[in-house]
Chains A and B, each alone.
Chain A
Amino acid sequence: MKEIYLDNNATTKVDELVFEEMRPYFCELYGNPSSMHFFGGQVQKKVDQARARVAALLGAHPDEIVFTACGTESDNSAIRSALEVFPEKRHIITSRVEHPAVLTQCRNLTKRGYRVTELNVDGEGRLDMAELEAALDDDTALVSLMYANNETGVIFPIEEAAKLVKAKGALFHTDAVQAVGKIPLDMAASSIDLLSISGHKLHAPKGVGVLYVRRGTPFRPFLVGGHQERGRRAGTENTASIIAMGKACELAMEHMADENTRVRAMRDRLERELSALIPNTRINGGGADRLPNTLSIAMEFVEGEGILLLLSEKGICASSGSACTSGSLEPSHVLRAMGVPFTCAHGSIRFSLSRFTTDAEIDTVIKELPPIIHRLREMSPFGREFLNKK
């Protein structure tokens, strides 16, 4: 069975061009970029090129790019660094809908005496800038807010937030793992201090990430040891993956327009048709500014895991904001923070597209999902009540 992969916010296919770019750096060009000999030196040149390619996608300077092992490491490094830079400040601001890579660390810091403010979101998943402004004080070391939400695709007004935060003298970090490569970013015209990227969300392999550190932003490394990454991240470079990351960023730039036109149109069609064919649905974050590739759709009276398993039988890969798939029992913290009613939160499914998604695949989902929902509703006591009323 050929898979229909609509779970690109979880991870993406490595673009074949990216794989070709990295392939020689395992068995042939395996030198250490730090070595004095020509054999390491030629790898150093490719790592430099990769750094320049990542910088180009972000509108940044190459020396602002620090390669890490993953998005989570970038997030953790940014938060720890900010707190070390301002040892006297004991307050952090984040939001209730952050990825666990940020939220778990912030919550752990409360045990070490830090005050953490988690900003609320409204029913569409949007931030309230007035709440951010009110939460900022002289004790605030860091504000960490995601660029775009992984579950709903809702985009935060990050530049506006960054300006407010900078005016108060705190550092501003954004987890931009879902945004980079999907929407244009320009660090040259930005107030962001620190920004996290993950390779495998933009068609590079797993195990490589980036932390953008603005020139002039004080920084303390998380990993110490060697002098790699100009002392900001010790450890021998994951050369093949870094080179892959550079290529992936170059390709992301080339495909940016496609992502925001063709991919967006496919997402919009999926949203429109499913909403028309399946009664009692709602679009989570539908009223907000969203990523072009993400659709979070809630279907009342059914539970997400059953939907996913039946979709999987048809070869369709999606994800749910439901509890039972994740090991936790509470529906997704993101949907709960948005106040999505329990009747919907348990039956929320996320489709996340990529440039490799085709119209034919979208047609298949539009054909297969409505009967699956009908079948599960017939099986559910609440679904039956609803169907009988109709």
Chain B
Amino acid sequence: MWDYTDKVKEHFLNPRNVGEIEDADAVGEVGSLACGDALKLFIKLDEKKERIVDAKFQTFGCGSAIASSSALTEMVKGKTLDEALQVTNQEIADFLGGLPEEKMHCSVMGQEALEAAIAKYRGVDAPAHGHGHDHVENEGEIVCKCFGLTDGFLKKVIAANKLHTAEQVTHFTKAGGACGGCIPKIKEIIAEVMGEEKKAAASKPAAKLTNLKKMQLIQEVLENEVRPQLWADGGDLELVDIDGSNVQVAFRKACAGCASSGYTAKFVEQKLRELVAPDINVQEVQG
């Protein structure tokens, strides 16, 4: 059984704002029966057409999809359109006290429906996502054929939520969750997005790192960049010590005693040199 928060359960059992607004100013639709979830969002603006005075929804989907829709409508009421566009999927999840990662795509669907509604109202194209039927051809190529998701949409969600693995991308967007055929392509897109972030980071003037900053950065890189890759091969590592530019690590699980651990240490060093500082040395220790 899913570990839903009480707030998710409460919004599922007593959803706010179910229904439709007959004279809505904006309507956004995403998803389909085939996808397994769909959301139709209605928005009513005040007389000056500035602020959202009412929002209603209809949702086909699981418990967290209904709860996310209910949360979304509560969150956008009283906001201007520009303010509403600032609502992120993470904020929808936070409003509900969190969602299981496998269900994050429900919060993404809420954000998409909102964007689609506002874009339609303003007479512009919605950002490429492919999840709705109308916008598939607009931008980017379809990556996930099962759910009809474009690379533009995936890149956006990957960057906004700092996703590192194909599994996370599936949890947030559903891409790759059915036949799995596009998972290699999703990995390429993750690499691309991460590469762009690195470039952006590199283009900033390289500030001299304080020791504390350097240690923090080393830990972050090991957690986010290195360990997930080792996990994929059944391995792991532990940070033992940092002394200036010397980093000591101990290998665990499949990496421990692996004949290729020398190469693995080199890989770790390369990553740290690339992302933290060029003078880093990595040493493997038993510990």
Give the most central of B13, B33, B34, B61: most A CB within 10 Å.
B33
Centre residue among A327, A378, A381 by max chain B CB count within 10 A = A381
Report chain A residues within 8 Å CB of B179.
330
Q: Are B60 and A301 in contact (CB under 8 A)?
A: yes
The answer, yes or no, to whether B170 is at the interface (CB within 8 Å) is yes
Interface residues as binary, A333-350 with B (CB distance below 8 Å gives 1, 0 otherwise): 000000000110010000
Q: A59-67, A142-150, A289-297, A302-310: which one contacts chain B?
A: A302-310
Number of B positions contacting A (CB below 8 A): 32
**A324–B177 contact, CB under 8 A?**
no
CA distance A80 to B12 in the complex (A): 46
Q: Can you list, as one digit per residue, whether each of A128-148 has a CB less than 8 Å from chain B (1) or not (0)?
A: 000000000000000000000
Q: B157 within 8 Å of A by Cβ?
A: no
| A330 CA to B61 CA, complexed, in Å | 13
CB distance from A298 to the nearest CB of B (A): 13
Residues of chain A lying within 8 A (CB to CB) of residue B177: 323, 328-330
Q: Which residues of chain B are within 8 angstroms of A313 by Cβ–Cβ distance?
A: 13
Bound complex: CA of A285 vs CA of B118, how far in Å?
44
The reply to whether A382 and B60 form a contact with Cβ atoms under 8 Å apart is yes
Partner of B59, one of A309, A325, A379: A379
Q: Which residues of A lie under 8 Å from residue B66 when comparing CB positions?
A: 306, 379
Q: How far is the CA of A207 from the CA of B170 in the complex (A)?
A: 33
Within B140-175, the residues touching A (CB, 8 Å) are: 146-147, 170, 174
The reply to whether A380 and B58 contact each other, CB–CB distance below 8 Å, is: yes
A346 vs B102: C-alpha distance in the bound complex, in angstroms?
A: 17
Cα distance A327–B62 in the bound complex, in angstroms: 12
Residue pair B36, A303 in contact (C-beta under 8 Å)? yes
B25: A residues at CB distance < 8 A: none
**Contact of B178 with A303 in the complex, beta carbons under 8 Å:** no
A382-B38, A384-B58 known; A346+B33 contact, CB < 8 A: yes
CB-contact partner of B36 in A324, A327, A381, under 8 A? A324
Asked if residues A324 and B170 are in contact (CB atoms below 8 Å), the reply is: no
B174–A383 touching, CB < 8 Å: no
Chain B CB count within 10 A is highest, among A306, A328, A329, for: A329
A128: min CB distance to chain B, Å: 24
B33/A329 in contact, CB under 8 A: no
Contact present for A379 and B34 (CB under 8 Å)? no
Contacting residues, chain B, for A74 (C-beta < 8 A)? none
Number of interface residues of A (CB under 8 A): 28
**Given A305-B63, A330-B177: A346 in contact with B58 (beta carbons within 8 A):** no
Q: Which of A305, A331, A346 has the most CB of B within 10 A?
A: A305
A284 at the interface (CB under 8 A from B): no
User: Are B63 and A309 in touch, CB under 8 angstroms?
Assistant: yes
- In chain B, what residue has the closest Cβ to A336? B178
Instruction: Using A306-B66, A330-B178 as known contacts, say yes or no to A379 and B58 having CB atoms under 8 A apart.
Output: yes
Rounded to whole angstroms, the CA-CA distance of A328 and B62 in the bound complex is 13
Whether B29 sits at the interface, judged by CB under 8 Å, is yes
Q: Which residues of B contact A328 (CB under 8 A)?
A: 177
Chain A residues, Cβ within 8 Å of B103: 324
- CA–CA, A362 and B13, complex, Å: 24
Shortest Cβ distance from A384 into B: residue: B58
Please tell me if the beta carbons of A306 and B12 are within 8 angstroms of each other in the complex.
Answer: yes
Residue of B with least CB distance to A346: B36
Contact of A330 among B9, B20, B65, B146 (CB under 8 A): B146
B129 close to A (CB within 8 Å): no
B18 at the interface (CB under 8 A from A): yes
Note all chain A residues with C-beta closer than 8 A to B39. 381
In the assembled complex, the Cα of A331 lies from the Cα of B34 at a distance in Å of: 9
Is A352 interfacial (CB-CB < 8 Å)?
Answer: no
Q: B34–A309 contact, CB under 8 A?
A: no
Q: Which residues of A sit under 8 angstroms from B40, Cβ to Cβ?
A: 381
Q: A301–B36 Cα gap in the complex (Å)?
A: 10
Complexed CA–CA distance, A330 and B179 (Å): 8
Q: Which residues of A contact B127 (CB under 8 A)?
A: none
B31 CB to nearest chain A CB (Å):
9
Contacts of B62 in A (CB 8 A): 303-306, 322, 324-325
Min CB distance, B19 to chain A, in Å?
A: 9
Interface residue? B284 (CB, 8 A) = no
In the assembled complex, B236 has its CB within 8 A of some CB on chain A = no
Provide the bound-state CA to CA distance between A302 and B61, in Å. 7
Tell me whether A380 and B59 are in contact in the complex, defined as CB-CB below 8 angstroms, given that A306-B66, A330-B179, A342-B33 are known contacts. yes
* Neighbouring B residues of A301 by C-beta, 8 Å: 33, 60
In the bound complex, residues from chain A placing their C-beta under 8 Å from that of B60 are 301-303, 379-383
Contacts of A304 in B (CB 8 A): 62
User: In the assembled complex, which residues on chain B have CB atoms less than 8 Å from the CB atom of A325?
Assistant: 2, 62
Please tell me if the beta carbons of A381 and B38 are within 8 angstroms of each other in the complex: yes
- The answer for the CA separation of A380 and B62 in the assembled complex, in Å, is 11
**How far in angstroms is the closest Cβ of chain A from B55?**
15
Cα distance A306–B13 in the bound complex, in angstroms: 9
In Å, the complex CA distance between A145 and B13 comes to: 41
Instruction: Compute how far the CA of A329 lies from the CA of B104 in the bound complex, rounded to whole angstroms.
Output: 13
Q: Please give me the residue from chain A that is nearest to B40 by CB atom.
A: A381
- 8 A-B pairs with least C-beta separation: A329-B177, A305-B62, A324-B62, A380-B60, A330-B178, A381-B58, A381-B40, A342-B34
17 residue pairs of the A-B complex, CB under 8 angstroms, read A301-B33, A302-B60, A305-B61, A305-B63, A306-B66, A322-B36, A323-B36, A323-B177, A324-B36, A328-B177, A329-B36, A329-B174, A342-B36, A379-B18, A379-B58, A382-B38, A384-B58
A interface list, Cβ under 8 A from B: 301-306, 309-310, 313, 322-325, 327-331, 342-343, 346, 378-384
| Inter-chain pairs besides A309-B63, A384-B58, 16 sampled, C-beta below 8 Å | A301-B60, A305-B61, A305-B63, A309-B9, A313-B13, A322-B36, A323-B177, A328-B177, A330-B146, A330-B179, A379-B60, A379-B66, A380-B58, A380-B59, A381-B58, A383-B60
